[in-house]
Amino acid sequence: MEKEVYSLCFMCSVRCPIRVLVKDGQVKWIEGNPQVAGMEGSLCPRGSAGISLLYDDQRVKSPMIRVGERGSGHWRKASWDEALDYVGDKLKSIIEKHGGHSVVIGERTQLATHVSKTFLKALKSPNHFTHDALCKGSVNTACRSLFGYTDAQMSMDYKNTKHIVMYGRNLFEALEVKPVNNLMVALEKGAKLTYIDPRVTITATKANRYWMIRPGTDLALNYALIHVILKERLYDAAYVDRWVQGLPGLQDFIHPYTPEWAELETGIAANAIVDLARELSQDKPSVIFHFGYRGANHPNEIYMRRSIMILNSLMGSMEAKGGFFFKKGPGEEGGKPARKLTEQEFPKIEVPRFDKVGTPDFPLPDPNHGVGQILPEAILNEDPYPLKALIAYRFDPLMSIPDTKLTKKALDKLDLIVAIDINYSDIAWYADVILPESTYLERTDSIQQANGLKPQMFLRKQAVEPRYDTRDGAVILKQIGERLGIGNYFPYENMDELVAWQLEGTGFTMEDFEKKGFVAYGKKQIFWDRQDGIKFKTPSGKIEFKSSLLEDAGFESFPAYEAMPSPPKDEFRLVVGRNALHTHCSTQNNPYLNELCSENELWINKEKAERLGISNGERVEVASKTGSGTIVAKVTDLIHPEAVFMFHGFGHEAEKAARSYKKGVNDALLMENVSDMIGGSPAMHETFVTVKPV
């Protein structure tokens, strides 16, 4: 029997809409949902490798309880009842002794996030954190400081842009299918791409203009661009007059930051900076300076991200066709969003978060997400109080939080570590109990509320029965909850019932998703009126160059630029990133993807390598203050001499994931755990390393 199922990919968190062809209970083919504009049937390599995840016999096949030391890899298979009772009993005694707030859930934001937040709220714990800060916390805070919206509440009109500038936003490798397709359309229509990165990436090869910037100096470049734009009055004056608060302060501040000054800091010629400013101004407001995610990550990142969004504002590109737009929700069409379990009433929480977000110590990061990289410090110092249990749900702190040794030392202090995972990830391997989730092709998930120019809802729908003894995450948490006396917060027995509960009052039912995989609230794209209708959510209702969010918390809107130090002689700045074949630390053991890329390499500048006696393809030792590892050198003149680069997500320690076991080096092992203490991002590019032949 054959059927087609519309669903959502989950080989990464982008959640591209897919069509899955199933024959006799087997998945035969996956493609981008052809009924969704911008997908046109396409998928990225990881999305296509979804079949190979489903049929991978090295994933976790049943609940497992550890029998040896943590990390020793000695396990016994357990039934669900046994594993859930084990977790329930442990949590019960921890909560009795130390309170619900000693339980933490760390999670990659996903469709079931409302379920795990509910679980902790019911336990009176504020300690839910997501990947958000680790990924882009300072982008989030920068956007709130200017517009009152998070970065996730806005997006870009790639298709209609005339010029896009990307600062290490390596979109053609660190992929999202729809934006890539839409940007390709724009480029074919003649749009320009300016790409800035200390490394020549695939995106660089598609650019009209590429600048090999000195690592960490994007802020200096942006100050010079702002300088030229203000001096030559290249900005959208009507828009700025109407919508911007704090232009005079910026004008005074920017005066000393000339292109000639920036040339010395960045290595980019002053006249080229002037040319770019003039060129962009001709295409305004249909220009995008991409806010980026993982480009330059330093303790001053908040100001770098603000400078990018200030440039957009000067060009009038916020809420312009071909620029940025604010995502529109169902309310704009008179509709209702899907319900979330977090709408329920919960007992009052009386303690601060473990990361102190929202307190005077750490006022500005987004409390909806928290700051994950603070976890090791909070556990080790028992500050603000002892933490005793961690549930890692689709999140691997051992690879995704800088300084793996420190993280392990902290985890060793916990009484309970539970991993809800599909793979033998490093955290699953280090856990006390593994509760295996069914993969995305084997499960239905909570509704995706997809706000945008056209508000929609999408559904991840089960395509085939689970191949192994696995369950849905939302059901797993409910079943633990039942053992803790909080089962009443989870009004469903299975995913179909949860989805039906979510859809109550929206006017849609699960059947409505069958034909296309999504439902739309309206037909037209919604742009707000640029003259009077842009609903900025700042206290002033304007774009706040002079930011009340920052200044009320005691931070400056425009602090003086501090020079970015070069590494000491014969050391390098470690920079990291993704490639098109892998998702963070999740897919290295995937049979297809492992075959295509099984190990990471260390990019090192040719002249530097020659001086150190390192040749291409040779194994080298890369070492920092926090750790070291052996990796193959990729000697190239396509990287700035101050930097070395490696892909994130390799160097796995779980033996049962045999294809990726001990292949390459885990970048988190080398990174120091330092943060932008205003914006919330980890400063992942602050670490210097040495490299030597082995």
We find the least distance from the C-beta atom of residue 8 to ligand SF4, in angstroms, to be 7
Segment near ligand MGD (CB under 6 A); pick from 87-95, 432-440, 491-499, 510-518: 432-440
* Position 370 contacts ligand MGD (CB under 6 A): no
Tell which residue, 461, 395, 458, has the closest CA to residue 422.
Answer: 395
We find the least distance from the C-beta atom of residue 267 to ligand MGD, in angstroms, to be 11
Helices (H), strands (E): how many in the chain? 23, 27
Could you say which of 196, 247, 276, 622 contacts ligand MGD (CB under 6 A)? Answer: 196
Residue 577 β-bridge partners:
647
Could you say which of 101, 328, 578, 634 contacts ligand MGD (CB under 6 A)? Answer: 578
Amino acid at 370: G
Tell which residue, 578, 504, 517, has the closest CA to residue 175.
Answer: 578
Tell which residue, 44, 353, 319, has the closest CA to residue 172.
Answer: 44
Amino acid at 655: E
* Position 194 contacts ligand MGD (CB under 6 A): no
- Between residues 319 and 396, which has the closer beta carbon with respect to ligand SF4? 396
Q: In what order do the strands lie in the sheet with 518-520?
A: 448-450, 456-458, 518-520
| b/e per residue 594-615 (b: at least 16 CB within 10 A) | beebebbbbbbbeebbeeeebe
Output the CA–CA distances (angstroms, integers) from residue 466 to 55, 56, 63, 248, in the order listed: 11, 12, 14, 61
Strand boundaries in 525-656, DSSP class E:
543-544, 572-577, 601-605, 619-623, 628-636, 643-647
Q: What share of the chain is helix, strand, coil (3-state, %, to 5)?
A: 35, 20, 50
* Position 374 contacts ligand SF4 (CB under 6 A): no
* Position 43 contacts ligand SF4 (CB under 6 A): yes
Segment near ligand SF4 (CB under 6 A); pick from 40-48, 158-166, 323-331, 522-530: 40-48
CA distance 547 to 364: 12
**Residue 391: both structure tokens together:** 């549930």
* Position 135 contacts Mo ion (CB under 5 A): yes
* Position 213 contacts ligand MGD (CB under 6 A): yes
Could you say which of 78, 83, 134, 139 contacts ligand MGD (CB under 6 A)? Answer: 134
Tell which residue, 24, 2, 29, 1, has the closest CA to residue 441.
Answer: 29
Could you say which of 5, 27, 36, 47 contacts ligand SF4 (CB under 6 A)? Answer: 47
C-alpha distance across the termini of the chain, in Å: 57
We find the least distance from the C-beta atom of residue 46 to ligand MGD, in angstroms, to be 6
Which uninterrupted H or E stretch holds 183?
helix 177-188
* Position 175 contacts ligand SF4 (CB under 6 A): yes
- Between residues 7 and 557, which has the closer beta carbon with respect to ligand SF4? 7
DSSP 277-342: HHHHHHHTTSEEE---SSSS-STTHHHHHHHHHHHHHHTT-BTSTTSEEEPB-GGGGT--PPP-GG
* Position 135 contacts ligand SF4 (CB under 6 A): no
| Total residues belonging to the chain | 694
Segment near ligand MGD (CB under 6 A); pick from 115-123, 215-223, 340-348, 626-634: 215-223
Segment near Mo ion (CB under 5 A); pick from 132-140, 160-168, 437-445, 455-463: 132-140
Where in 8-37 is the site for ligand SF4 (CB under 6 A)?
Answer: 9, 11-12, 14-16
* Position 631 contacts ligand SF4 (CB under 6 A): no
* Position 403 contacts ligand MGD (CB under 6 A): no
* Position 60 contacts Mo ion (CB under 5 A): no
* Position 585 contacts ligand SF4 (CB under 6 A): no
* Position 584 contacts ligand MGD (CB under 6 A): yes
Residue 121's SS3 state is helix
CA distance 42 to 19: 10
CA distance 317 to 324: 6
Cβ-closest residue to ligand SF4?
A: 47
Could you say which of 151, 176, 403, 672 contacts ligand SF4 (CB under 6 A)? Answer: 176
We find the least distance from the C-beta atom of residue 542 to ligand MGD, in angstroms, to be 29
Segment near ligand SF4 (CB under 6 A); pick from 170-178, 220-228, 232-240, 619-627: 170-178
Residue entry with tokens 């295509």: 596
Cβ-closest residue to ligand MGD?
A: 168
Q: State the binding string over 531-570 for ligand MGD (x if CB under 6 A, else -).
A: ----------------------------------------
Tell which residue, 356, 486, 392, 359, has the closest CA to residue 103.
Answer: 392
- Between residues 246 and 372, which has the closer beta carbon with respect to ligand MGD? 372
Q: Select the binding partner of residue 16 from Mo ion, ligand SF4, ligand MGD, none (C-beta < 5 to 8 A, by kind).
A: ligand SF4
Residues making contact with ligand MGD (CB under 6 A): 10, 12-13, 108, 131, 134-135, 167-170, 174-176, 196-199, 201, 213, 215-216, 218, 292-296, 393-396, 400, 402, 420-423, 425, 437, 439-440, 473, 575-578, 580, 582-586, 645, 648, 667-668, 671, 684-685
Residues making contact with ligand SF4 (CB under 6 A): 9, 11-12, 14-16, 43-44, 46-47, 175-177
Residues making contact with Mo ion (CB under 5 A): 135
